[in-house]
Structure 1
Amino acid sequence: MGLACSSIVDLADNEYLKTLSGKTTISENDPFWNQLLSFTLNAPKSRAEQVRLEEITDGHCKSLVENNQHTGNFTSLLKVFLARAKELKSSAECENRIFIWQAHNVLFIIRNVCKFLSENMSEDSMLEQFEARSLADRQRDLETGAVLSSTGLTNYLDEFINALQDIIIEVPVLEFTYYLQMEAVTTFLVLLSVQMFLPNPKLHGVFTNRTMTCSSPERANKFIKVLLQHYIEQKSPPDSGNDSQGGSIVLGVASAVASGIWSMVSRRKDGNATTVALQNSIIPSLGHRSTLLLLALVNYNVESLGHQSGGVATRNLYHDALHGFRHIQGSASAKASISPTFHLNLSRLFQALCVTQYQETSTLLLYFLIHKNPEVRAFILSKTDIDTLVVPILKILYSAPDQNSHHIYMALIILLILTEDDHFNQSVHEVHIKSVDWYKDRLLNNVTLGDLIILVVVRTIQYNMTRMRDRYLHTNCLAALANMSAHFRSLHSYACQRIFSLFTLLVKKQKKVTEKLVAHRAGLDSGNSQDSSTLEMESHHDYASELSVLVEVLRMLLEILNSCLTGSGMRHNVNLIYALLRQKEVLNEFRNHPGFQDILQNIDTVVAFFSERLAECNESTLTIEEVHQVIKEALLQVPSHHLKKFPELKFRYVEEESPEEFFVPYVWSLIFNKSNVFWNPGCVQLFALDV
């Protein structure tokens, strides 16, 4: 370190780091800090290099922590940062790049020390590091009597948290401040990362509680707004290898440290052209890491915070800020009586959400926005180009075998929330999609968004029933289809075909499971040894449970079909009637099942009516087009008064009673896996690690 350019391997014997972590007290006014902070470093480009960096610097961190209670050097390091942080906004405005560079460097060192503390010490011991004072300062307190009045004791944690927030809120994101912003966000994540090392999501560390309680509503609103703006803007990291900036090249190389990882860019001359190849494009953007921080902040349980703060009712102000903001151009929601936490351009937010749904963090953010913020939900539902958001969500479901199960759940719940709106269910059949390149089962041309939703959801049910067998998943799939069923319009023939193919598959599966269950019952009745009998009982239970699920799914599919046939939708679904008539034999499998009798009455009436009309026209001599024409004409004469009325199918998503038990581990697993910051897996207790 110092003015020379360092590599990771040079850090072990670096004299400046040895001085910082040694037994000599360094005042915050010592010229040493300018020398220490004027360093450049080739930043780690891979996880292995991050691990190597920590292995080499762990010795320095350990010595610094051990000696800090005598030297106060970590506290001095904090003071140096806090003093510089006050001038960062003005330094950015006057383009004082050297000052920004050094501020970033001191924050980089603090972040690495804090990460060492969080992974190697208890929180109480960590807090002591933030208030440690040198022996000379404590001797002075004894002489002046300050120790008796406690005026000499200062814990710099709250000031440090506020300074980080000030950087994120006030310092503009420019080419030379980008990595400073990135480092501030990353350091904030490191402070909160203690959550990963606690076994219970309802437990919160001291650092989390201090973050929640040291902020005012106005400050929390500004903070969440800025994090959302980072997400919306999705600014790419500056090219740290670009040497065309003259004097800024030193900053460019040095500031790359802040990101923790940067893209390795190689350039090669090919004739007169220059090709830039991103060989290791693993650096996250400021927007991506800001999203992770936002998700971490809004997912802390308010009740447990209040309990841990001595019974004082504590609100999660960041949670409130995210769920209370409105559109900058006026409210899109009818419920606009409550003052907004802040205003944001929802058009730009919508665009960002549309283009980033391939990111799991973006899907989770969309869930919180659409579920908890009525303004955002109303705005999204009002969009005429809503397909730009729904199609990427459907792509997540379509690629289920390659996705994290939680990502699938979030995408499905978002779809379910959208289908709670009748206008959405009607409009999706009016939005035409020319082609869907990722749908590989068949070439799709000029289908509606409604057709695509049906195709993907039916495919997801089929995949789930044969592979995952997750009851939660197919229940929500069926709920989404049920919400749409009364509004089915002009369904594509292929969508109708896939619905009845699912019927056929499930009927065959039900028949097979029933046969196995009967065989097992016969085996149990014949008598076996005790051990084999126990195994037989377990198998019996498994088959009975599987059969129960199959009956439940088949019943719901019949209700969905009935909902379409008994409403006004039947007059607009010639293809569905045609598919029903072709597959009517499948319904015979349900005849003797008591759970299907009531729902089959209407379907049988419809089948009988159209079969009679086709028989009158000598169906065997008709072409497919002529059959469709007969059905179309007969639709005007359907005796709808003979159809039994059932309650409208309406399902709403309801969040679990203790959502933090799911979301806190989920968010921190995303931070662990997606932040491109190396976290010690041996310390993690909050969630199971991927093998």
Structure 2
Amino acid sequence: PPPFRPKSPRSRPFKTFASSRLHLAISPSPNPRPRQTLGALSDPMGAAPSTPRLGEAGAASPGAAEQMFAALVGDRAYPISSEFWRQLLELPLTQQWPRDRVLQACHAFAQNNYHTKHLAKILIHLVWCLQECTSASSVTSSVYRKAINAAYISSIFLKFIIENAKADNWQELCLDIDKDEKGLEIFPSDQSVEYFLMKGVLNYIGSVDVSPESCYLHHELLNLMLVLMSTQLCSGPSPEPKDVHPFIDAAMLQDSSIVASVVQKLLLNFVRRPQIPSNGSHPVFSDDGGPGVLQRVGSAAANFVLLPYYTFNYFVSASAEGTTSQLADNSLLVLLILIYYRKCISMNESIPTDGVYMSDSNTNVKDAPAFHENPYCKALNNAKDIQFDHADVEGNAQNGPVVSLSFASLFDALGTCLKDESSVLLLYSLVHGNCDFQEYVLVRTDLDTLLMPILEMLYNASRKTSNQIYMLLIILLILSQDSTFNASVHKLVLPSVPWYQERLMHQTSLGSLMVVVLIRTIKYNLSKLRDVYLHTNCLAILANMGPHAHKLSAYASQRLVSLFDMLSRKYAKLAELKNDKALKVTPDQMEADIISDDTSTELHIYTDFLRIVLEIINAILTYALPRNPEVC
């Protein structure tokens, strides 16, 4: 029989990121002692000079640091060419603020930003710092410090404004700036601030390798990217043409060369898992090892909780499962957000013949919402193995830049890190969208590298959501369409399966383990989730594997027969219940009809389940009986 194939992935979208709007929660300072208030927050100018200064030789006294930040959040607008910005970004930020003052500063900044436009100005200065870091042959620590400070300060106030925005068009950001202002002569007249920002940030991420000197800046830029793209959390679950997301929309308009370089660099970060030096210095930490002002702000107002499993931490730690890398994790999150962004085409736009795809292949084209093509998703789908160029063999060379990396390294990295849903989603994206990577996976002889973590997660299905289980099953369903894959998994023998607790499994084949885990998932789904779609996917995988079964273990054979027995008894019970209700006379005929319809629907579902299980057993008996004596 022809293999079962998965439905369109967009016909049943699964949530990967938190969809609820998160609000800022800052507790009062735990220190009850009276302290000096930052007077400039209530009176931003106070008795301070018209232009805050660092003092002699640029020394940063505690009073000067507070004065600079008071001026930043105050109601006086500093021109973009003012010396104030250089002094602010070069400031060693070691001053400690309590949390309530951080919140007070955020409120003051958001209120005064309407006329000061300080947010737009500091974002422009960030891009100028990044351009200096990119163009200079040797970058000094002071240049890195300015860029890091600009990225960090921007992310703090951006996150606060985004979380507390009252309008969906993000007017509170106040990114419109007078381009005739002195100092903006080099600013591109045809670009908006958000486009200029995203081009600068993405260009740096895609063109500069992570090194011990640049790792902190990469870390801050990835954090900033998460904040910039978090405007999606304030929209509904389904994209609408009227939705406005200024920063990620600007990212979608970047040149193909920038897009390809960013996708490649983010993938390489995930594969190489660069570490932040534990003995390195960072401007947001004070010299005595205590948290500086930005670290305190980070713990209070800029704690990036956009994703449920994301924790803000500068240092890495080693675990029993391997070494974690915050840069690798953040790179993966940014990549996933970029490739899964969908921009609807409004009714007023003319729909182009190319660069558009529909949300559901099973829906009428006239009724299906149309989306602009996502260049990052396209770049990932067209990624090539650096060790084997298909263009020379098949003549399918791509126009424009192409993402090239080692599929072997990517395969190994996925096998090592396939513990959370972000890594699973990346594997799904590659297997479903990138034909070259799918072919590479199918010809690998060590399929247990990927399959064992997947099967372990399915084994612990009670700890997963139905959407996570669905994603894992779709990966297996795509792979099981290939006959070579089905033959390989039955020939690969596992010495032991330590995480399987119901029974000791020694010298069992990977195919037998797949059968056992899939049947276990089916039984869990019938008792708990009762999701017909998940159930059908499990049976479809087994049906694809059936004709290629080889030396199926006694335990796997017994579980397969017990599944048929369980479904048969359930079917017989439903059939008997339906017959009893048909003969029973009830005064409430409408209620009886509803109950009868529900029973008929469930009976029909179990009829389909039994049919598929019978096809699986029949395929084994017909095509593979000599190789599977335990089934008899």
Tell me the TM-score range normalised by the shorter chain: 0.7 to 0.9
Q: Which moved more, 1:540-549 or 1:331-340?
A: 331-340
Structure 1 equivalent of residue 201 of structure 2: 164
Alignment-derived partner of residue 477 in structure 2: 416
Q: What TM-score comes out, normalization by structure 1 length?
A: 0.69
Please identify the structure whose Cα radius of gyration is greater: 1
Which amino acid in 1 is paired with 2:532?
Answer: R
Give the letter for the 1:337 counterpart.
Answer: N
Separation in 2, partners of 1:417, 1:239? 42
Within-5 A mapping of 1:488-637: 488-523=549-584, 526-528=585-587, 530=588, 534-567=590-623, 569-577=624-632
The superposition leaves residues 528-572 of structure 1 with CA deviations (integer Å, 9 ceiling, x where unpaired) of: 2x4xx55544433333222222221111100111112122x1121
Query: Which residue number in structure 2 is paired with residue 230 of structure 1?
Result: 269
Q: Counterpart of 2:408?
A: 347
Residue of structure 2 equivalent to 1:633 = none
Per the TM alignment, residue 520 of structure 1 is displaced from its structure 2 partner at its CA by: 3.1
Any conservation in 2 of the 1:40–1:253 contact (CA below 8 Å)?
no
Q: Which runs of 5+ in 1 are unaligned?
A: 1-6, 45-51, 267-275, 578-691
Q: How many residues align?
A: 532
1:622 counterpart residue number: none
Output the CA distance in 2 between the equivalents of 1:8 and 1:168. 38
Contact 1:236 1:286 in 2 (8 A): yes
1:113 matched residue in structure 2: 157
Shift of 1:114: 1.9
SS at match of 1:409: helix
Q: Name the amino acid aligned to 1:547.
A: L
Deviations 1:146-166 (A, max 9, x none): 9xxx99897311111111112
Q: 1:330 aligns with which of 388, 397, 413?
A: 388
| Aligned residues of 1:107 and 1:183 also touching (Cα < 8 A) | yes
Map 1:217-366; keep pairs closer than 5 Å.
217-239=256-278, 262-263=312-313, 285-301=326-342, 304-305=344-345, 314-331=372-389, 337-339=396-398, 341-366=402-427
1:103 corresponds to which residue?
Answer: 147
The one of 118, 134, 143 aligned to 1:73: 118
- Judged with a 3 Å threshold, the aligned counterparts in structure 2 of structure 1 residues 307 and 285 are, in CA distance, closer, same or farther, namely farther
Distance in 2 of aligned mates of 1:553 and 1:11: 72
Which letter does structure 1 place at the counterpart of 2:257?
E
Give the whole-Å Cα distance in 1 for the aligned partners of 2:397 and 2:346.
24
Q: 1:382 to 1:41 in 2, by over 3 A?
A: farther
8 Å contact from structure 1 (residues 262, 283) kept in 2:
no
Cα offset for 1:213? 4.5
Q: Secondary structure at the match of 2:494?
A: strand
Shift of 1:336: 5.6
Query: Aligned-pair distance for 1:42?
Result: 9.5
Distance in 1, Cα, partners of 2:68 & 2:140? 24
Q: Deviations over 1:26-65 (max 9, x none)?
A: 2334343344332446999xxxxxxx95x75444334333
Letter in 1 for 2:147: A
TM-score, normalization by structure 2: 0.75
1:272 matched residue in structure 2:
none
* 1:5-154 alignment runs, 5 A limit: 13=38, 14-37=66-89, 38-40=91-93, 56-89=101-134, 94=138, 96-119=140-163, 120-126=165-171, 129-133=174-178
- Say which structure is richer in helix: 1
Could you list the per-position Cα deviations for residues 420-453 of structure 1 after superposition, in whole angstroms to 9, with x for gaps in the alignment?
1011111111111001111111000000111111
> 1:225·1:342 contact (CA, 8 Å) conserved in 2?
yes
1:123: how far off? 5.0
The alpha carbon displacement at 1:310 in A equals 6.4
Aligned AA for 2:548?
A: H
- One-letter amino acid of the structure 1 residue matched with residue 342 of structure 2: N
For residues 86-111 of structure 1, the C-alpha deviation after alignment (integer angstroms, 9 at most, x for no partner) is 112366x6362232123111111111
Q: CA deviation at 1:465?
A: 1.4
Work out whether residues 407 and 440 of structure 2, in 8 Å CA contact, stay in contact via their aligned partners in 1: yes
**Counterpart Cα distance in 1 of 2:550 and 2:113:** 71
- The percentage of aligned residue pairs carrying the same residue is 29
In structure 2, C-alpha distance between the alignment counterparts of 1:62 and 1:511, rounded to whole Å? 66
Preserved CA contact (<8 Å) 1:100 1:180: yes
* Alignment match, 2:55: none
In the TM superposition, 1:321-470 aligns within 5 A as 321-331=379-389, 337-339=396-398, 341-470=402-531
- Deviation (angstroms), 1:348: 0.4
Distance 1:420 1:336, change over 3 A: farther
Residues 194 and 247, structure 2, Cα contact 8 Å, conserved in 1: no
The answer (yes or no) to whether the contact 1:451–1:491 under 8 Å persists in 2 is: yes
The letter of the residue matching 1:292 is L
Instruction: Give the drift of 1:309.
Output: 6.3
**Gaps in structure 2 of 5+ consecutive residues:** 1-28, 39-65, 305-310, 356-371
**Within 2, Cα distance between the matches of 1:374 and 1:27?**
52
**1:196 aligns with one of 233, 240, 245:** 233
Q: Is the 8 A contact 2:466 2:529 kept in 1?
A: no
Q: Distance in 2 between matches of 1:58 and 1:430?
A: 61
Go from structure 1 to structure 2 and tell me whether the alpha carbon gap of 1:56 and 1:238 turns closer, same or farther (over 3 Å shift). farther
What is the Cα-based RMSD across aligned positions, in Å?
3.8
> Match for 1:177 among 200, 205, 214?
214
Structure 1 residues 472-502: Cα deviation after superposition (integer angstroms, max 9, x where no partner): 0011111111111111111111110110111
| Code of the aligned partner of 1:126 | Q
Distance 1:43 1:566 in 2: 75
